[in-house]
Each structure stands twice: as C-alpha cells, then as structure tokens.
Amino acid sequence: MPGTQTSTGATVPPMRGPAQGDTDAVLNNQPNQKYWSDSATGDLEQRAGHSRRVAALICVIGVLLTALSSWAAARVDDKAEQRLLQVQTKQAAAVLSTAILLIEGPLRTALSVQRVAGLKDTTAFERFMAASVGPDKSFVSASIWHRRENHLTRLGSVGVAPALAPGRPATEAYLRRAFHTTTFTVRAVSAGAQRRIAYAMAAQGSDLVVYAERAIPADRRSPVASDSAFADLHYAIYLGPRTDNTSLSTTDMDPSTLPLTGTTARATVPFGDTVLTVATSSGRHLGASLSQRLALMLLVGGIFLTLIAARTGQQLVRRRQDAERNASTITGLFERVEILYGQQRELSVRLQRALLPHAIPNIPHLEIAAEYMAGAQGVDIGGDWYSIIGLNDDHFAFVVGDVSGRGIDAVAVMAHARFTLRAYLLQGDSPAVALEKCSHQFDISVDGHITTTVVGVGNWRTGEITIANAGHPAPLLIAEDTTEFVEVTPGPPLGTGPTTYLSTTFTMSPGATLFCFTDGLIERRSESIDVGMLRLAATVQTSAEEPVDALVSRALASLRSNDAADDIAVLAFRWIPIR
Amino acid sequence: MAEFAARPPQHGVGSLAVSGEVDIAVVETLLAEARACLNADVSGLVIDLGGVTFIDSSGLGALVRLRNEAAQTEKNIALAHVPPAVARLFEVTGLTGIFPTRAGD
C-alpha cells in the first residue's frame, strides 16, 4: 500500500487540511484534477480525428513515394527501351546497306558488260539484265544509254516501259546527273498509279549510263517476317532525309498512321547520291518483361502497402490513445485511493491520540515516561493504550493494554476498556477486581476483539505495587542490578468470558523502574515470544541508569523494526522516594 | 499466509488442520472454515495447529471466539499438536486453561 504511511513517530503528526468539522469539504474539494477522462463525444471525435489525420498523412507520403518509385522505374525502362531500339535500328540500317549493294551491283556489272561489247551490240547487256528485270525481281525496267556531246541515245532496254520516257528533256537531265556522282542517282517516279524508284549510274571514264526502275508496292507496305530479327520493330523507310509521306519508300504499317509514334529511333543510310532514312518504333517491349512491369508492380504494391500502413498507423494511434487514457484513469484512481487512505488513516490516528492521555499527570516521587507508536503498515491502527491515574493522597493506578486486531472497531473496544477500567480503579477497586468486573462486560462474539491488559495500583509513599494481568506480557522490573519480569499469573484476556484474576504485590526498591509494554515491542514472527522478552530485558538493562524517558526512547529505537506492522504502547515509571 | 484442510468427521468429531501464519489477514477465513466444520452432524471440532508457525492476538481471539460459539451449542473445541511457541503464547496470554487439548498431544 504505497504512500499511505503518515507517521510512525511518537509525536502527533501535523494534521493536513482543515479541522475535523471541515472533513466533508476536504473530501469534496480535493479532487479538482481529473481521475479519468470523460468519454464525452467531443473527446472521442477529437481522438478519431487525430487518428484519421495520421492515416491521411501516411497515405499521402505512401502515394508520393509510390509514384516517385514507379516514375523512376518507368524512366529507367524507357531509357532502356530507347537504347535497345537505337541498337536495333542501327542493325537494321546495316542490313539495309547490304541490300543496297544488291541494287548497285547489277547496275555496275551491266555497265562493264556494255563497255566490253561496244556501242552497237546490246545483246550481252539484255541477256545479263534479264536476270534482274521482271515481276518479283529487283527491277521492272532497265536501259543502257550513250552520251555524245551532251546528247543521250538509248542503246537498248529490258522490261516494261520506263516512267521516265526516252526523249523527254527531264529524262535526259536526270541521266546527265549520273555523270556528276561516283555512285548512282536516285529519285522517285510515277508510272500511272505505280510508284517507282529510278536509278541511274554512269561508268567512270566512259559515256555509258545505265538506267533502271524498281517498283514500290502499291501500299508501300512490306511486313517484317515474324521470325526475322526485327520482328519486334515497326519501321518506315524514307527516300531522302525527310520523313513525310511523299518521301515514304517502304513501311510495315498502314501509311496513314505514319509518322511512327511512341519510342522511336532514326538512322540514315547512304543511298546513291541521297540517303535512306530509317525510322523505327518498337512493336512491343524489347527489354525484359519485368523491367516493363516493374513500374506497374511498384505502383500497385506501393498503394497496397500504403493502405495497410495507413490502417496500421490509425490503429496504433488509437491504441496509444486508449492506453494513455487507461493509464491516466488508473493513475487517477490510485491517487484517489491514496488520498482516501491517507484521510482515513489520519482520522484513525487522531481518534487514537484523542483517547490517549493528553498529559501525564504529576504523581509525587514518580518519574514517568510513556510512548505510543502507530504501526508502519496500512491504514489500520491498533488498539494499544496506556493510562496512569492519580487515585488519592498516596495511591496511583496504571494500565497498559492491547486490543487484538486493528481499525476503528479495535479503537472503540480500546476506549471501552480504558474508561471502564479507569472508572473501577477510581472508585477504589483493586486490579484483580477491576479486571473481573470488566470480564463481564466484554465478549469477543459481540465486539470481535479480545483485550489483554496489565492493571496495577501503587503507593508512591511506600513503593508497594499490586498488579493483575489479563493475558498480557508481564511488566519488567528494572532494579539497580537486576532486570526481571514481574511474576504475575495471567488470566484470560477480556472478551474471553467472565472469570476471576489473581494479583501479585511487590515493593519497588528506590530508583527501580517498572516498564510496561505491549507485544508490538517484542513480537517477531520467526521466533518464540520468550526470545523477544529476553531481548527486551537485555536492552533495558543497558539503559537502566538513564532517565526514564531516555530509557523508553532507547528501547523503542532499538527494538522496533522499521516495517513493524503492530503498534506499540509503553509506560514506564521510576520510584524516587524522598530520602 | 495460512492454509486450512478440513477432514471428514470421525466418531462425530470434525477436524481442521491449520498451517502457516495465523494473523489478522486470515482470521475471517479461519472463522469461516471452522464454522463450516462445526455443523449439526458433529459434537465437536479438533483444530490441529501442528503446522502453525506464528499466531497473533487476532488469531488467538478467533480461537477464543470459536470456543465461545461452540459452547453456546454445547459443542467442544479442542486443540491438537500445539507447537511449543504457540503453547508458550497461550501460557503468556492466560489461555492455557481455556482449551482442552487432546490426550497425547
């Protein structure tokens, strides 16, 4: 029972709070502080609001982090895609360069064949080109021309009629261009609905020029074989550096959907006196599929985790709030209980002290000391008491008693015993008679307590003492050189039932001290009562020469343990006759 | 702390064994246990104190109270196996003659 102890000292503890009449005010006014939180609606709403704010904050942070990581993953994936596409586009351009050789090669060979044959005979040229000209072959039309003084003459031709018809100035102008380049010239031409590419190549150091036309598929579409290395690519090949539809040469797409969108890459390949521009886009994801899905996975997973975190956060906040609330409730109750215990104990101690003699009477030739000490534990006080009473001109009476048990009831029984004995003693009854009369007035079945007590009557002129004992530890008689317990036959405690008591009479030697006490001074749970009695005798023997109050204080100080539960009353007097 | 063990009555006498520390904290339990043993079927109760290591004035008071209550219904309370320290306490408190002790104990 923590903190309930008010005082274990022999002096009255300072009273806390107002006087007794104001006790109710103390009880009612004290708790201004809150002992438990009100479960008012506002409070609940506030708590719920707080936990929702935490959840919302977690959500915002979680979504931000998720979006950031998803975006980063997507960026990484994009860059990887771009790089892969560029690599593939370069590879495609390299393949295209090789394909151009298939065009350039036959033309160059045809020129050589014609140079060897001379200007008249074109049979060899026609026979050679027949292999490359026709449906499903490289060219649809081919012809060989000779330049003489800026005038061009067609020597022979193979295949269909060319789009650039012989004899027209545009045709000759185009053919003449071929003499200004070391490779071949390229241009787009139209033969009716058919789009063609026209090639012209001049032989170095001669006046021969070969001309050929290659058909472009009507829709200009040429799908990529699905098993090709470039099956994942969409492409559009443009003649020249521009990528508008008029320059479009070949594509695997519907031309109306061009230009290519999405992740695109571009490469140019030298093509005669112009270039081919290869534009590509990825038909599907080129890199590892995990890389593509990572962003989405991060997004979905992140949002999922965010929701869980938000929910958990909300619960944790609520739990913490609940715990704080419970803790403050428990602390408040403890404080309340402690205050109540303190008040109750204080009242009990005040009652007890009110029942003890307020002042020790002056009795001639007696040096008197008395102490009462409350038990250290709990709120309940004991029922120990002492009395010393002047009776008449030469007699005095003294009582030390102990009511079993603790609490207000025990104190009430103590008061009953104390004042009943006092009354009998004042009317002149001997100790044994006073006890016998009392034994009729106490009943444990009614009171719930038994009372042990030593009652004595003394003559301060002669030092003669008569005592009787109702179940109480016998007093110690401390003389100059001996300390011994007074031999008095104990009768049963008060409350046991009606009975009679024996008494003992002895005479104190001058300066001797009679030391009466209650069992709190000698009782130890672990040992027989004799051990405690011998210890007390030994202790007081060493202080026999000291003043009585010092003797009492020393006995209490050395014998009372700090955690003693029982209360203690001690009454001692020394007889100092006039010599 | 104290422990209580009630045994079935033999020859019309109940038996309650008490052990441990009999103090103010267990007095009510002691009273309740003993009263339960002192039912209409028995003529008396033997309280075995063999295991008692300590008894305070409240414990003594409870024994006195049981004795007085039993006497009102003309029953007897006897003590058995009283340890020396407890017997000495009975002596100091003038209770020795109050309780009959069983022969041989």
Lowest mean pLDDT among A31-45, A466-480, B49-63: A31-45
Contact list, B54 vs chain A (CB under 8 Å):
525-526
Residue A369 CA: distances (Å) to CA of A421, A525, A534, A565: 21, 28, 22, 23
Q: What are the pLDDT digits (tens) for A48-98?
A: 778 888 888 888 888 888 888 888 888 888 888 888 888 878 887 787 777
Give me the pLDDT at residue A339, please.
85
**Percent of chain B, pLDDT > 70?**
95
Q: Find which of A271-285, A322-336, B84-98 is predicted with most confidence, using mean pLDDT.
A: B84-98
Give the rounded distance of the alpha carbon of A298 from its chain centre.
26
Contact list, B92 vs chain A (CB under 8 Å):
471, 473-474, 490, 529
Residue A391 CA to residue A459 CA, distance in Å, equals: 10
Q: What are the pLDDT digits (tens) for A120-129?
A: 788 888 888 8
Residue A19 pLDDT > 90: no
| Residue B64: closest CA among B92, B97, B40 | B97
Residue type for A328, please? Answer: S
Region A248-261: mean pLDDT is 76
Torsion of the alpha carbons at A288, A290, A291 and A294, rounded to the nearest 10? 170
Pairing state between β A141-148 and A208-215: antiparallel
**Percent of chain A, pLDDT > 90?**
26
Residue A523 CA to residue A473 CA, distance in Å, equals: 11
What are the backbone dihedrals phi and psi of residue A486, each rounded to the nearest 5 degrees, phi first? -65, 130
Please name the residues in contact with A322: beta carbons below 8 A apart, sequence gap of 6 or more.
Answer: none
Residues 443-472 of A with CB under 8 A from B: 443-445, 448-450, 452, 469-472
pLDDT class of A182 with cuts at 50, 70, 90: confident
pLDDT class of A106 with cuts at 50, 70, 90: confident
Q: What's the complex ipTM?
A: 0.90
pLDDT class of A244 with cuts at 50, 70, 90: confident
Is A194 exposed, middle or buried (CB count within 10 Å of its CB: 0-12, 13-18, 19+)?
middle
Whether A492 has its CB under 8 Å from any CB of chain B: the answer is yes
∠ Cα A211 A215 A221 (to 5°): 150
Contact list, A452 vs chain B (CB under 8 Å):
57, 93
Give me the pLDDT at residue A126, please.
82
Contact list, B65 vs chain A (CB under 8 Å):
444-445, 448
pLDDT class of A221 with cuts at 50, 70, 90: low
Give me the pLDDT at residue B105, please.
45
Tokens of A249: 């040469």
Lowest mean pLDDT among A225-234, A238-247, A484-493, B77-86: A225-234
Regarding predicted confidence, which is higher, A112 or A3? A112
Residue B28 CA to residue B26 CA, distance in Å, equals: 6
Residue A224 pLDDT > 70: no
What is the SS3 string spanning A125-152?
HHHHHHCCECCCCCECEEEEEEEECCEE
Residues of B with CB under 8 A from a CB of A: 21, 24, 27, 53-54, 56-58, 60-61, 64-65, 68-69, 84-85, 88-89, 91-95, 97-98
Residues 511-530 of A with CB under 8 A from B: 519, 523, 525-530
Strands (E), A163-263: 184-191, 194-202, 208-215, 233-239, 248-251
The answer to whether the beta carbons of residues A189 and A174 sit under 8 Å apart is no
SS3 assignment, position A58:
helix
Residue A274 CA to residue A237 CA, distance in Å, equals: 13
Residue A550 pLDDT > 90: yes
**What residue ranges define each of the domains in chain B, with the CATH number in brackets?**
2-92 (3.30.750.24)
Is A353 exposed, middle or buried (CB count within 10 Å of its CB: 0-12, 13-18, 19+)?
middle
**What residue ranges define each of the domains in chain A, with the CATH number in brackets?**
67-282 (no CATH), 356-575 (3.60.40.10)
The answer to whether the beta carbons of residues A36 and A328 sit under 8 Å apart is yes
Residue A298 CA to residue A27 CA, distance in Å, equals: 63
Phi-psi region for residue A136, left (φ > 0), alpha (ψ -120 to 50) or beta? Answer: left
Contact list, B2 vs chain A (CB under 8 Å):
none
Give me the pLDDT at residue A477, please.
96
> Nearest residue of A to residue B86 by CA position?
A528
CB spacing of B68 vs A405 below 8 angstroms:
no
CB count within 10 Å of CB B48 equals: 20
Distance from CA of B104 to the nearest CA of A (A): 23
Tokens of A48: 């719920």
Distance from CA of B93 to the nearest CA of A (A): 3
Please name the residues in contact with A247: beta carbons below 8 A apart, sequence gap of 6 or more.
Answer: A188, A238, A239, A240, A277
pLDDT class of A132 with cuts at 50, 70, 90: confident
Residue A332 CA to residue A35 CA, distance in Å, equals: 4
Contact list, B56 vs chain A (CB under 8 Å):
404, 523, 566
Tokens of B24: 């103010």
- Select from B93, B96, B98, B99 the residue whose CB has the most chain A CBs within 10 Å, as the one to mutate to test that interface: B93
Whether A496 has its CB under 8 Å from any CB of chain B: the answer is yes
Region A447-458: mean pLDDT is 95
Residue A570 CA: distances (Å) to CA of A70, A417, A554: 87, 17, 12
Regarding predicted confidence, which is higher, A498 or A358? A498
Residue A339 CA to residue B93 CA, distance in Å, equals: 38
Region A489-505: mean pLDDT is 95
Give me the pLDDT at residue A564, please.
66
Residue A230 CA to residue A179 CA, distance in Å, equals: 37
Lowest mean pLDDT among A48-52, A231-235, A320-324, A445-449: A231-235
Give me the pLDDT at residue A320, please.
86
| Residue A336: closest CA among A40, A33, A38 | A33
- Choose among B21, B69, B94: nearest Cβ to A493: B94
- Select from A528, A536, A568 the residue whose CB has the most chain B CBs within 10 Å, as the one to mutate to test that interface: A528
Residue A385 CA to residue A405 CA, distance in Å, equals: 14
How is residue A430 annotated by DSSP? -
Q: What are the pLDDT digits (tens) for A316-370?
A: 888 888 888 888 888 888 888 888 888 877 777 777 777 777 788 889 999 999 9
CB count within 10 Å of CB B40 equals: 6
Region A413-440: mean pLDDT is 94
DSSP assignment of chain B: -EEEEEEEEETTEEEEEEEEEESTTTHHHHHHHHHHHS-TT-SEEEEEEEEEEEE-HHHHHHHHHHHHHHHHTT-EEEEES--HHHHHHHHHTT-TTTS-B-TT-
Strands (E), A357-430: 366-373, 382-390, 395-406
Residue A217 CA to residue A250 CA, distance in Å, equals: 8
Please name the residues in contact with A558: beta carbons below 8 A apart, sequence gap of 6 or more.
Answer: A539
Residue A173 CA: distances (Å) to CA of A113, A141, A169, A178, A222: 24, 19, 6, 9, 32
Give me the pLDDT at residue A313, please.
86
pTM for this predicted structure: 0.53
Q: In what order do the strands lie in the sheet with A194-202?
A: A151-159, A141-148, A208-215, A194-202, A184-191
Give the CA diameter of chain B. Answer: 35
Lowest mean pLDDT among A200-214, A356-370, A497-511, B1-15: A200-214
The answer to whether the beta carbons of residues A452 and A472 sit under 8 Å apart is yes
Residue A89 CA to residue A282 CA, distance in Å, equals: 10
